[in-house]
Amino acid sequence: MSDKNPYAGLPRYQIWKRAVSDREPDDVDPQHAAKFVIDRSTKIASAGSCFAQRIAERLSEAGYDYLVTEPGPIWESAQWRKSHNYGTYSARYGDIYTTLQLAQLARQCKGTFGPAEPAWTKNQRYFDPLRPRIEPDGFRSLEELQEDRSRHITAVRELLSNSDIFVFTLGLTETWCSRIDDMAFPMCPGVAGFGSFDHKRHYFRNLTVNDNVAYLEEFLDYAWSLNPALRVILTVSPVPLAATYESRHVVASTTYSKAVLRVAAESICQKRQNVDYFASYEILKSG
């Protein structure tokens, strides 16, 4: 006697018709289960693409213990601190769109990486090529920029050491890098008036699944060297690419990018028990 159809008797969440088609959009929950849970006593830190800002805002609004190690000068108003990107994320790193940027952050914390790209200048002010939007009007001097970067790296070490949960939102696979030291920029030099683009100094990369897995593991190994108990939640931003440098439609590049990031996140989750995936991309795309 042959075995039953292997799909017979599966839970409803594994069958599209029962889990999606026959349910109202608000009743669809792609998350299903989690490796670990958080409560309002859990210290949560976050980083990532611009979508990660929304996660940080919602956690804070809901009363969770959102850890901020770079709160800004206490003598300045809350509005001023927000305009200068204090509290946008747990530390003042700005948007971290790619896993290569995240790996570079770990290298800075270890003291093995210092960007060779000179500070970007505009109107006699200095902008950090690693965090160009951090200081709205730029720094007054190169020394001020470097001092701020040093304080920032100290704050990153602190948040990794003291967090219970670190949430990272993967945003992009496309990036521009320096030919000098392969540094990845958060934006292409020359965009929005920050820096100047030069094909002799800058080149384009589109990170593969293997690239993303390797850079995530590099960061995780460093984070766990500081805090072995740290648990990590990965998400994929549902925000589409604003533009693509690949010679194809931006919709195709967006689909490719999100697929690569989702596979990379899944690979890490399967290999590491203390890394889980939160289905923010699936929740928004299935609604």
How confident is the model over 94-150, as pLDDT tens digits?
999 999 999 999 999 999 998 888 899 988 999 999 999 999 999 999 999 999 999
| Residue 54 pLDDT | 80
At 176, which helix (H) or strand (E)? strand 174-178
- Give the angle 139-143-146 at the CA atoms, nearest 5°: 80
Q: What pLDDT, on a 0 to 100 scale, did the predictor assign at position 118?
A: 86
- Which residues are CB-contacts of 205 (< 8 A; sequence separation ≥ 6)? 100, 174, 175, 176, 177, 184
pLDDT tens-digit readout, 189-242: 999 888 889 999 999 999 999 999 999 999 999 999 999 999 999 999 999 999
pLDDT band at 2 (very low <50, low <70, confident <90, very high): low
Q: Which CATH architecture has domain 37-250+258-286?
A: 3-Layer(aba) Sandwich (3.40)
For residues 2 and 261, give the distance between their C-alpha atoms in angstroms, rounded to a whole number. 40
In the numeric block, the tokens 């901020």 are attached to: 68
Q: Which of 216, 109, 222 is nearest to 156 (CA)?
A: 109
| Cα distances (angstroms) measured from residue 142 to each of 147, 162, 200 | 9, 30, 24
Judged against a pLDDT cut of 70, whether residue 287 lies above it is answered with no
pLDDT tens column, 60-78: 888 899 999 999 999 999 9
Domain spans, the chain: 37-250+258-286
Q: Is the pLDDT of residue 14 over 60?
A: yes
Q: Model-level pTM?
A: 0.92
pLDDT digits (tens, 9 = 90+) for 24-46: 877 888 877 888 988 999 999 99
Residue 160: is its pLDDT beyond 80? yes
Q: How many CB atoms lie within 10 A of CB 122?
A: 14
pLDDT of residue 49: 83
pLDDT of residue 269: 96
21 falls in which pLDDT band (50, 70, 90)? Answer: confident
